[in-house]
Structure 1
Amino acid sequence: MNFGYRFLHRFFYIIYKVFFSAKSYNAQEVPYDGGLIIAANHLSNWDPMLISCFLKRPVGYMAKQELFNVPVLGMALKNLYSFPVRRGAFDKTAIKTAINRLKGGECMGVFPEGHRSKDGKMQQAATGVALIAAKTQVPVIPTAVINTNKIFKLGSFFPVIKVIYGQPLYYTGDKVDKAQLQEFTDKIMQQIQNLINSDKT
């Protein structure tokens, strides 16, 4: 981890624990090294660092290109191992960057739905995460984010937020078979939903 990442990692960990009583489950079972994809549902802008701050390895993300043009934010994103992606189009450069990083042994966070859920329910996911998993042959960790959409909302200003890491999934199908890629995507999303359902509080 670079200094900037370590600082932000610790800063957000304290914020989440002190103000939101953040809890994590199964973080110790997430592999400490080797290429890895963390695939999670997406409720708010609080999600990426919540997912990352309980893990002992850096997690990088694709972030929309416009954010890198904001002076302070752009620098922070680079320190967080993030890289730009063009929204609204298939960005081959971003996909190639993701594949190269994963093959190089890095960990990437991915939100298969592609955007934040407006109602807190899981949305239809694109097959991008399955495609990347197929091309890199790295495990995918289904991950559930809970209650971040309630932060600073009337009625639950400081909710208890949680992140639950699941068991790894491996893509074993054909790299170019759209049906098999969709099937793997659906499996990831179902596992995330199962983790959400397992939370009883």
Structure 2
Amino acid sequence: MNLYKFGKAVCGAFLKSMYKIDIQGLENVPADGGILLCSNHINNFDPPLVGVAAPRDVHFMAKAELFSMPVLKTILPKINAFPVKRGMSDKQALRNGLSILKEGKVLGLFPEGTRSKTGQLGQGLAGAGFFALKSEAAVVPCAIKGEYKRGKKITIIFGKPIDFTEMREQKASAKDATNLIMLNIEKLLMDSVS
């Protein structure tokens, strides 16, 4: 068993022992080909939750500072994480992300770039739109809803892939592409209100 699969099993057991995890829309995640998986961001546990819920291995960007920590710098690459320098245009991170998508793998992103302190969906950064426009990957919106409080229900919903054909043909801006992704995430959050 590789470290990613082991980590997924351990994280899954932990999260399921703490919260009532409800996973919806798995049928919307293509079984093969590159996928850009874009989710809202409400808690530090979001990346492991998305990783556990997704039917395929997910590659995440992680802030570069983590890769300078003794234990993490060894573990993070083995669990499909790669560094990104926040607050600037990190060309190497963009190249790494595109490479993952072109290899037919899954790139997980939180377009807001940071956790929402209010739980409300924030503004998306242009990076998500860049990946959507510059690759042929399926773009799957994802919504995490609920409170990370022991025993509480947390719902994670995978939406239908967003069709970017027209935007790619029109050479739309990365910001406009991100806005479309955020609208789809918002719709999933609204539709899931019980």
TM-score w.r.t. the length of structure 2 is 0.92
Q: Which amino acid aligns with 2:145?
A: I
Aligned to 2:111: 112
Q: Which amino acid aligns with 1:197?
A: M
Tell me if the contact between 1:42 and 1:113 (Cα under 8 Å) persists in the aligned partners: yes
Residue 186 (structure 1) shift: 1.5
Tell me if the contact between 1:134 and 1:175 (Cα under 8 Å) persists in the aligned partners: no
Q: How many residues align?
A: 193
SS in 1 for 2:60: strand
- Kindly indicate whether residue 183 of structure 2 is the aligned counterpart of residue 190 of structure 1: yes
Aligned to 2:160: 167
Tell me if the contact between 1:12 and 1:49 (Cα under 8 Å) persists in the aligned partners: yes
Aligned to 1:40: 39
Mind listing any 5+ residue stretches in structure 2 that lack a counterpart?
A: none
Aligned to 2:193: 200
Residue 163 (structure 1) shift: 0.7
Write out aligned runs for 1:134-173 (5 A).
134-147=133-146, 150-151=147-148, 156-172=149-165, 173=167
TM-score w.r.t. the length of structure 1 is 0.89
Residue 46 (structure 1) shift: 0.4
Note closer, same or farther for the CA distance 1:176–1:61 as it changes in structure 2 (3 Å cut): farther
More strand, by proportion? 2
Over residues 140-165 of structure 1, what are the superposed CA-to-partner deviations in whole Å (9 max), with x where a residue is unaligned? 10000112xx32xxxx4442112100
Question: Over the residues paired in the alignment, what is the CA RMSD in angstroms?
Answer: 1.8
- Kindly indicate whether residue 174 of structure 2 is the aligned counterpart of residue 181 of structure 1: yes
- Kindly indicate whether residue 85 of structure 2 is the aligned counterpart of residue 55 of structure 1: no
Over residues 74-108 of structure 1, what are the superposed CA-to-partner deviations in whole Å (9 max), with x where a residue is unaligned? 33321221100111100001001110111011101
Residue 18 (structure 1) shift: 2.1
Note closer, same or farther for the CA distance 1:196–1:69 as it changes in structure 2 (3 Å cut): same
SS in 1 for 2:144: strand
SS in 2 for 1:196: helix
Note closer, same or farther for the CA distance 1:157–1:21 as it changes in structure 2 (3 Å cut): closer
Q: Which runs of 4+ in 1 moved over 4 A?
A: 174-177
Residue 21 (structure 1) shift: 1.2
SS in 1 for 2:62: strand
Note closer, same or farther for the CA distance 1:157–1:54 as it changes in structure 2 (3 Å cut): closer
Residue 174 (structure 1) shift: 4.6
Aligned to 1:31: 30
Tell me if the contact between 2:132 and 2:177 (Cα under 8 Å) persists in the aligned partners: no
Mind listing any 5+ residue stretches in structure 1 that lack a counterpart?
A: none
Distance in 2 of aligned mates of 1:40 and 1:180? 20
Aligned to 2:99: 100
Distance in 2 of aligned mates of 1:174 and 1:6? 35
Tell me if the contact between 1:61 and 1:82 (Cα under 8 Å) persists in the aligned partners: yes
Aligned to 1:129: 128
Over residues 1-50 of structure 1, what are the superposed CA-to-partner deviations in whole Å (9 max), with x where a residue is unaligned? x6100011111111222220111001133112211110010111100111
**Percent identity of equivalent pairs:** 33
